[in-house]
């Protein structure tokens, strides 16, 4: 199984869907739509069950029937009312919607404004086949790293002399880094912005508060592309990466502009109390993402907010001021309400720091996202078709999942295997439902037949966002493999 983690908000598949001028609708179930993007993402970015893991016509029919069944369960479910009255469910839906709104904001204020210089693409292309062999070490003290650099930078053996002045280091690390290596942007830019020389020292590269890296170039290999196909692929790869980096840079400047002159000031005594209460929730070991995802009983798709619902923990201090931003006082109660829809995200780069500092940074990110969300609301992104569809997809998946769970709790399925549950308990419900609602179902047969899928298992997440799971899990509802219901979609409804 391949577990893929896509960092930050710039998940390229999502950006492609934001950029799409037209959407292809594969099926309509009453007033609900299943788009091509839905079909691909629910099949490719989650782990498909064995009974539809391939790319045959039968596999694709099972997938489509499962997605349609999910919509039907959501439509006729009597559990929707219960969920709507559940504060946790509502918080999750609001939080996911607002995360999508911020991603739309980052697209319009970043990706949509990118204009690449062809000369820069050519320059990057000339280095894209290079794979550097490097030595490196890290200094936590930024001031010390600068002092040592000024003292030894002109020396031919600066790298070794700087390292020799660090009594807490006992080894130099060795690594090979290519154009496609998953390194931080600063390291990638330092190595691939210009041609480097053998034995050249690069750095110090300031990654964050605790990471200042010195690099020495030991050598490199160059992979030359010859065929037109290889040249085109490398050019596209370089262009895509440069565009993503440029988009990040443009958006970062936008965010800095939004947050300029906004000072975050903590109430030290109250902050200490909050940190003490929050520490057990964020420092206790959590299950690995893969283990969580493979928990079939959980259906791998519905997130809960139990990890950030603190119950009565804050009651004694809920009316006390936790921090002030831009002249506005945030009480502990205000903070808790915000966390209910926007779980705190501890920065990966902060893992070496004490919890108090990590918490301050997480709260700063929370406040930043609040301002960005407000801008997104002012622009009407909550009514954007992409955002509404995304929210509807998660809502339908959640309702269908809990409807399935409620039904299976009424029958004895303990210790029964997955296929036995589907064939003996779920198919007898789903198959008649497909026929019953046949007149409300339309299928875009032409576009459906064009779909090609891989057989690679992918659990796709985004990092450093409140809700990391990219799409709901595959709906394990049926293995019905016929399309003998519904009607062919009208050609005028194929694309919008």
Q: Whole-angstrom Cα distance, residue 100 to residue 470?
A: 11
Map residue 287 onto helix, strand or coil.
Answer: coil
Q: How far is CA 220 from the centre of its chain?
A: 33
For the chain, report the end-to-end CA distance as a whole number of angstroms.
35
Q: State residue 464's pLDDT score.
A: 84
Asked if residues 320 and 267 have their Cβ atoms less than 8 Å apart, the reply is: yes
User: CB neighbours (10 Å) of residue 279?
Assistant: 14
Q: Whole-angstrom Cα distance, residue 211 to residue 352?
A: 10
Residues forming beta bridges with residue 201, ordered by sequence position: 216
Where in 99-172 does DSSP place strands (E)?
A: 130-139
- Whole-prediction pTM value? 0.81
Tokens, residue 294:
């493979």
Query: What residue ranges define each of the domains in the chain, with the CATH number in brackets?
Result: 2-111+381-493 (no CATH), 130-223 (3.10.50), 264-378 (no CATH)
- How does pLDDT run across 1-60, given as a tens digit for each residue? 333 333 334 444 455 555 545 689 999 999 999 999 999 999 988 888 999 989 999 999
Local confidence pLDDT in tens for the 496 residues of the chain: 333 333 334 444 455 555 545 689 999 999 999 999 999 999 988 888 999 989 999 999 999 999 999 999 998 876 666 777 788 888 889 999 999 999 999 999 999 999 998 988 888 888 888 888 888 887 777 777 788 877 777 777 878 777 777 755 667 888 888 877 777 788 888 888 878 888 888 878 887 666 788 888 888 888 888 888 888 888 988 888 889 889 989 999 999 999 988 899 999 999 999 998 888 877 764 444 333 333 333 333 344 444 445 555 677 888 899 999 988 999 999 999 999 899 998 887 666 668 888 899 999 999 999 999 999 999 999 999 999 999 999 999 988 988 888 888 888 777 778 888 889 889 999 999 999 999 999 999 999 999 998 877 676 777 788 988 888 989 999 999 999 888 888 755 555 5
* DSSP letter string, 370-409: HHHHHHHHHTTGGG-HHHHHHHHHHHHHHHHHHHHHHHHH
Map residue 152 onto helix, strand or coil.
Answer: helix
Map residue 463 onto helix, strand or coil.
Answer: strand
- How does pLDDT run across 402-419, given as a tens digit for each residue? 888 888 888 877 777 888
Please list, in sequence order, all residues whose beta carbon lies within 8 angstroms of the beta carbon of residue 51, skipping any fewer than 6 positions away: 62, 419, 422, 479
Q: Whole-angstrom Cα distance, residue 212 to residue 380?
A: 42
Strand arrangement, sheet containing 487-488? 32-35, 25-29, 441-443, 487-488
Tokens, residue 439:
């007149």
Unique residue bearing structure tokens 């999750």: 92
DSSP state of 439: G
Strand arrangement, sheet containing 328-331? 264-266, 321-325, 328-331
Q: Whole-angstrom Cα distance, residue 300 to residue 421?
A: 17
* Inter-CA distances, 337 with 13, 318, 331, Å: 31, 11, 10
Instruction: Write phi, then psi, for 197 (nearest 5 degrees).
Output: -105, 155
């Amino acid at each position: 199984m391949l577990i893929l983690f896509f960092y930050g908000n710039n998940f390229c598949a999502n950006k492609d869907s934001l950029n799409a001028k037209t959407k292809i609708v594969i099926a309509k179930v009453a007033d609900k739509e299943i788009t091509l993007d839905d079909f691909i993402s629910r099949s490719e970015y989650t782990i498909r069950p064995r009974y539809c893991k391939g790319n045959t016509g039968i596999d694709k029919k099972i997938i489509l029937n499962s997605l349609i069944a999910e919509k039907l369960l959501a439509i006729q479910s009597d559990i929707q009312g219960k969920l709507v009255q559940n504060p946790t469910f509502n918080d999750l839906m609001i939080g996911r919607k607002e995360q999508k709104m911020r991603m739309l904001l980052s697209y319009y204020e970043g990706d949509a404004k990118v204009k690449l210089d062809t000369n820069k693409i050519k320059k990057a292309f000339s280095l894209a086949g290079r794979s550097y062999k490097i030595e490196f070490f890290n200094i936590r003290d930024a001031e010390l790293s600068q002092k040592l650099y000024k003292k030894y930078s002109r020396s031919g053996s600066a790298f070794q002399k700087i390292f020799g002045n660090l009594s807490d280091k006992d080894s130099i690390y060795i690594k090979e880094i290519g154009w496609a290596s998953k390194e931080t942007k600063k390291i990638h830019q330092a190595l691939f912005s210009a041609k480097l020389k053998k034995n050249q020292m690069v750095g110090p590269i300031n990654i964050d508060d605790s990471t200042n890296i010195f690099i020495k170039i030991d050598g490199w290999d160059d992979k030359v592309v010859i065929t037109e196909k290889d040249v085109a692929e490398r050019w596209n790869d370089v262009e895509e990466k440069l565009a993503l980096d440029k988009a990040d840079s443009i958006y970062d400047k936008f965010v800095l502009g939004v947050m300029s002159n906004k000072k975050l000031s903590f109430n030290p005594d109250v902050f200490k109390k909050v940190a003490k209460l929050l520490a057990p929730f964020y420092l206790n070991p959590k299950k690995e993402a893969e283990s969580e995802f493979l928990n079939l009983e959980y259906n791998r798709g519905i997130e809960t907010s139990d990890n950030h619902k603190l119950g009565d923990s804050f009651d004694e201090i809920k009316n006390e001021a936790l921090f002030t931003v831009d002249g506005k006082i945030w009480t502990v109660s205000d903070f808790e309400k915000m966390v209910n829809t926007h779980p705190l995200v501890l920065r990966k780069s902060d893992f070496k720091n004490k919890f108090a500092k990590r918490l301050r940074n997480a709260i700063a990110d929370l406040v930043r996202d609040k301002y960005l969300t407000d801008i997104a609301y002012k622009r009407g992104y909550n009514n954007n078709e992409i955002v509404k569809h995304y929210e509807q997809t998660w809502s339908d998946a959640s309702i269908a999942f809990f409807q399935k769970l409620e039904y299976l709790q009424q029958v004895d399925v303990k210790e029964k295997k997955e296929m036995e549950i589907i064939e003996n308990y779920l198919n007898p419900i789903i198959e008649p439902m497909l026929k019953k609602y046949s007149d409300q179902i339309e299928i875009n047969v032409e576009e459906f037949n064009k779909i090609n899928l891989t057989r690679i298992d992918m659990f796709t997440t985004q990092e450093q966002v409140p809700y990391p799971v990219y799409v709901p899990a595959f709906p394990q509802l049926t293995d019905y493999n016929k399309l003998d219901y519904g009607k062919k979609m009208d050609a005028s409804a194929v694309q919008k």
